[in-house]
Structure 1
Amino acid sequence: MIKKKKKKSYTEVYALGQYISMSAHKARRVIDQIRGRSYEEALMILELMPYRGCYPIFKLVYSAAANASHNKGFKETNLVISKAEVNQGNTVKKLKPRARGRSYPIKRSTCHITIVLEDISFYQQYEEYLMYLKKPGCSNENRNLTCYDTYTYTYSSGGLWDKK
């Protein structure tokens, strides 16, 4: 089996928190609120939400932003949470003593949280470049492309579907 190498993205930075002592279901409730939002907006939402799972997620978002500014030199105002996912981790099983010499199982669930921040300033510069190419004075050979619909373009007019 050949593994495909994932294409390296130069605009993404991530932080990974493993074995966080919280159920994945409770963490997803918080993560769904911040997915797709800007970095600053996500921090405000996490500070004001009343759930216990907000604090470790807040620390992860903050850590991902610190990675972005330190390792790649991105500005925090241009960061957006592009991907946030929660996976179930190991379950720690213990036994608690109860009355009459019996035992009661305790299951402590853990989760793995991944926060991916993306720098949107790159895409804004790319859009500005595309707008520059569309200016009338700009010379671009690939500007006038002809597109054909493969279903309505018939053989008699030199179409793609030639039945012989």
Structure 2
Amino acid sequence: MSTQESVMEATASARHVRVTPQKARRVVDLIRGKKAADAVAVLRFAPQSASEPVLKVLQSAIANAKVKADAASEAFDERDLVITAAFVDEGPTMKRFRPRAQGRAGRINKRTSHITVHVAPKDSGKAGTR
């Protein structure tokens, strides 16, 4: 029974996304724990620029769940998917320099993020928590 639950859980991640982790976490916090269809609607209309890469990762996780369900010959309904985990880790920082007054140089940090989203059917998420 636990093998079926693990088959249906799907993950997607995007690495080295040129969005600061702090800004990406604001967007990811909006969708954590929601139904996947509701989260897609929220991200489509969110004004933050970080919502676009998060939306792409979410759609990829949904597609991965569909592929896993097809491979296991199981019924698949996108409306049953729930975001079980979503998090943003800090990626490498690109360091750039800008000329400043009196021959000095000012450092500019261009931060990157690693965005990860896990989706699973509602039933398996409830069975794991109880």
1:75 to partner: Cα distance: 2.3
CA distance in structure 2 between the aligned counterparts of 1:101 and 1:47, rounded to whole angstroms: 45
Q: Which structure is higher in helix share?
A: 2
Question: Which amino acid in the other structure matches residue 113 of structure 2?
Answer: C
Are the equivalent residues in 1 in contact too, given 2:61–2:119 (CA < 8 A)? Answer: yes
Matched, 1:53 2:50: yes
2:74 aligned with 1:72, yes or no? no
Percent of aligned pairs sharing the same letter = 35
Contact 2:84 2:125 in 1 (8 A): no
Q: Partner residue of 2:103?
A: 101
Q: Which blocks of at least 5 consecutive residues in structure 2 are unaligned?
A: 71-75
1:123-142 → structure 2 map (5 Å cutoff): none
- SS at 2:6 equivalent: coil
| Count of residue pairs brought into register by the alignment | 119
What amino acid is aligned across from residue 61 of structure 1 in structure 2? Answer: L
Deviations 1:42-101 (A, max 9, x none): 011001111111000000000111111123233211111000011111111011233443
RCO comparison, higher one (Cα < 8 Å, 6+): 2
Q: 2:33 aligns with which of 24, 36, 45?
A: 36
Cα distance in 1, alignment partners of residues 56 and 7 from structure 2: 23
Q: Does 1:24 align with 2:26?
A: no
Structure 2 counterpart of 1:135: none
Q: What residue number does 1:90 align with?
A: 92
CA–CA separation in structure 2 for the residues paired with 1:123 and 1:115: 14
The 4+ residue runs of structure 1 with deviation greater than 6 A are none
